[in-house]
């Protein structure tokens, strides 16, 4: 039952539509006084009555249904308190019946959402700087799938630019094919860093690198063979990380894919009179009210830029997928770039520009400070995951040395801790990563939630019940608060999708675990009578399902034993 909808149906005001009434029904701030409230202040002027009188008249006009315990007019509000027993029965029966599909929706039926995330650079390492875009994008991918959308995950590879000319020069001077095949990105990174150090004293190396990149642009066989090999080595290595994070993509079309798709966009810009030449470069200027510098389309030497390729990508995605929305999960430093991109497409006369959304996020820092591929100062994400796994294993050996499959559990806990830590706060906030913080079994962490899940599994395995549910038992304060939280899960998933904010799910799952542990400590499940035991185990099963499902939306697996 959608209580907001059912309450809105009870309220009748002359000249006011059901949709407007529904929009005003809100969850009450103080759940001890009411569950839902309807403010009447908006209608005082049109009805020529005080909000207090309007509220009293609404209350007197309602015939109280079974699912409502009380309806009161309080200071211009109509307060609705639900019948605890009715609410508990409705919620428990519904969630048990739906199981792990609870929270799913058909809101996205027939609609496609494209999500551009992770977008690694070929021949560069998968480092901590890629963590947020990867796990936020992947979480949104799973959330929209649960909401019924058709989702296209896009890894817009950084596979174009003079850095590939530099890498070819570095490989020809210092590279070893066998070493690169064996060590992958680590070996490529070493020679790339060496190139920049050597170029400081031998700047002509940069000219040689530019010539090699020109060969790639021209399709030279040797240059293309090396370029494609670097790409193959990179994707092979990063796939190991994606597998550990349970991240998947439907498209790996990167910058190079759009090389032959940019000119039609440039031609259209010129045909519509949107371009100007400034110092030899092709630009699009904006109205002063936009408060933006011009968007650079082509450099004076004819070279294209990120903006040009992103425009080509936007048209390709619209034409190929006919997206309902197209999301770009990219750091907030690129705010201007996307603002310009969307505005240019709008100026071209395409109203779907409004469906392109930049989903920005903050930066990740870790001891060691700034990350720079060029200088070799890189914190590899694989090293972070390995360290988190090893530290998790140490904790397991200390707390539960006889646990079966300790290595597998340590992998789930360590990787889950890193992902949960990246998703627990609002995405726009910067993250200061700490192993001790994310692996804490007592804080707002993945291990705390995973341990709660394992507790649910243990209870369900150890305690048997064949009785019927005594719903009266679930109206106590701690039970009722937990069931109210359970009831919110579908709205939480929908809200996370609407706001492009996975942390809404993360924090909900943590709060659910906290409330469950209060329930567990205050309810004697094993020594209760059969009906009470059955009721309490039903709640345990529901919480187990929601934690598993919610954590899976984040890309985190939960061990059944810890």
Alpha carbon separation from 260 to 256, 308, 309, 322 (Å, rounded): 9, 11, 10, 21
Token couple for 513: 């675990």
Secondary structure in 3-state letters for 432-486: ECCHHHHCCCCCCCHHHHHHHHHHHHHHHHHCCCCCCCCHHHHHCHHHHHHHHHH
Catalytic residue, chosen from 56, 81, 84, 130, is 130
Could you tell me which residues come within 8 angstroms of residue 45 by beta carbon, excluding any fewer than 6 positions away? none
**Tokens linked to 31:** 């759940």
Nearest to 116 by CA among 264, 320, 289, 327: 327
Please name which of 295, 438, 433, 430 lies closest in space to residue 360, comparing C-alpha atoms: 430
Catalytic residue among 124, 166, 318, 484: 124
The two three-digit tokens of residue 463, written as one number: 């305690």
What's the rounded Cα separation, in Å, for the pair 403 and 409?
Answer: 9
- Residue among 311, 330, 308 nearest 319 (CA): 311
Return the residue matching tokens 């530099």: 166
Residue 206 is encoded by which pair of tokens?
A: 């940069």
Q: How far apart are CA 341 and CA 459, in angstroms?
A: 54
Sheet holding 112-116, edge to edge: 150-154, 112-116, 325-329, 356-359
Does residue 378 contact residue 368 with C-beta atoms inside 8 Å?
no
Choose, from 81, 89, 127, 298, the residue flagged as catalytic: 127
156 noted as active-site residue: no
Among 90, 31, 45, which Cα is nearest to 66's? Answer: 90
Cβ(550)–Cβ(509) under 8 Å? Answer: yes
Q: Determine phi and psi for 355, rounding to 5 degrees.
A: -90, 5
What is the rounded distance in angstroms from the CA atom of residue 61 to the CA atom of residue 10?
Answer: 9
**Facing residues of 372 across strands?**
377
**42 included as an active-site residue:** no
What Rg value do the Cα atoms of the chain yield, rounded? 28
Residue (of 217, 135, 235) closest to 168 by Cα position: 217
Helical spans, DSSP H, in 219-355: 221-245, 263-271, 306-321, 335-347
Contact in structure between 90 and 484 (CB atoms under 8 Å): no
Give residue for tokens 């590939």. 164
161 DSSP assignment: S
Nearest-angstrom CA–CA distance, 94 and 82: 17
> Is residue 124 annotated as part of the catalytic site, yes or no?
yes
Catalytic residue annotation:
124, 127, 130
């Amino acid at each position: 039952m959608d209580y907001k909808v059912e309450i809105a149906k009870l309220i009748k005001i002359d000249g006011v539509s059901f949709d407007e009434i529904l929009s005003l029904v809100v969850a009450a701030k103080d759940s001890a006084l009411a569950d839902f409230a309807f403010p009447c202040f908006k209608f005082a002027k049109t009805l020529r009555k005080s909000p207090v009188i309007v509220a009293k008249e609404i209350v007197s006009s309602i015939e109280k249904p079974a699912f409502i315990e009380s309806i009161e007019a309080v200071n211009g509000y109509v307060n609705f308190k639900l019948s605890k027993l009715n609410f508990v029965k409705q919620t428990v029966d519904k969630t048990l019946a739906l199981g792990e599909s609870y929270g799913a929706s058909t809101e996205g039926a027939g609609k496609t959402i494209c999500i551009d995330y992770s977008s690694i650079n070929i021949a560069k390492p998968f480092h901590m700087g890629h963590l947020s875009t990867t796990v936020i994008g992947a979480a949104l991918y799973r959330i929209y799938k649960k909401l019924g959308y058709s989702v296209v995950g896009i890894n817009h590879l950084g596979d174009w630019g003079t850095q590939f000319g530099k890498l070819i020069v570095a490989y020809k001077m210092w590279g070893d094919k066998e070493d690169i095949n064996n060590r992958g990105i680590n070996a490529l990174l070493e020679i790339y860093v060496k190139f920049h150090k050597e170029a400081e004293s031998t700047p002509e190396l940069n000219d040689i690198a530019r010539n090699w990149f020109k060969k790639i642009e021209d399709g030279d066989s040797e240059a293309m063979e090396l370029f494609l090999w670097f790409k193959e080595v990179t994707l092979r290595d990063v796939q190991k990380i994606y597998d550990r994070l349970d991240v998947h993509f439907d498209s790996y079309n990167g910058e190079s894919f759009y090389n032959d798709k940019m000119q039609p966009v440039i031609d259209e810009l010129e045909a519509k009179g949107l371009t100007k030449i400034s110092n030899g470069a092709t630009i699009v200027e904006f109205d002063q009210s936009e408060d933006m510098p011009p968007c650079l389309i082509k450099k004076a030497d004819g070279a294209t830029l990120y903006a040009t390729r992103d425009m080509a990508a936007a048209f390709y995605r619209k034409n190929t997928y006919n997206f309902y929305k197209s999301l770009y999960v990219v750091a907030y430093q690129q705010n201007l770039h996307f603002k310009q991109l969307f505005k240019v497409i709008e100026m071209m006369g395409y109203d779907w520009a409004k469906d392109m959304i930049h989903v920005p996020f903050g930066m990740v820092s870790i001891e060691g400070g700034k990350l720079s591929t060029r200088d070799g100062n890189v914190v590899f994400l694989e090293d972070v995951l390995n360290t988190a796994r090893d530290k998790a294993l140490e904790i397991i050996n200390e707390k539960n040395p006889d646990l079966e499959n300790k290595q597998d559990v340590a992998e789930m806990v360590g990787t889950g801790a890193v992902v949960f830590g990246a998703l627990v706060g609002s995405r726009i906030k910067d993250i200061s990563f700490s192993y001790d913080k994310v692996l804490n079994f007592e804080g707002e962490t993945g291990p705390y939630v995973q341990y709660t899940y394992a507790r649910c599994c243990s209870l369900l395995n150890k305690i048997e019940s064949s009785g019927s549910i005594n719903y009266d038992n679930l109206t106590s304060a701690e039970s009722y608060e937990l069931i109210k939280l359970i009831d919110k899960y579908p709205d939480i998933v929908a809200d996370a999708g609407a706001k492009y904010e996975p942390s809404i799910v993360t924090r909900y799952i943590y709060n659910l675990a906290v409330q469950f542990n209060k329930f567990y400590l205050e309810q004697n499940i094993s020594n209760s009578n059969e009906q009470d035991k059955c009721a309490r185990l039903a709640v345990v099963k529901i919480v187990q399902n929601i934690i598993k499902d919610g954590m899976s939306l984040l890309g985190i697996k939960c061990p059944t034993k810890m």
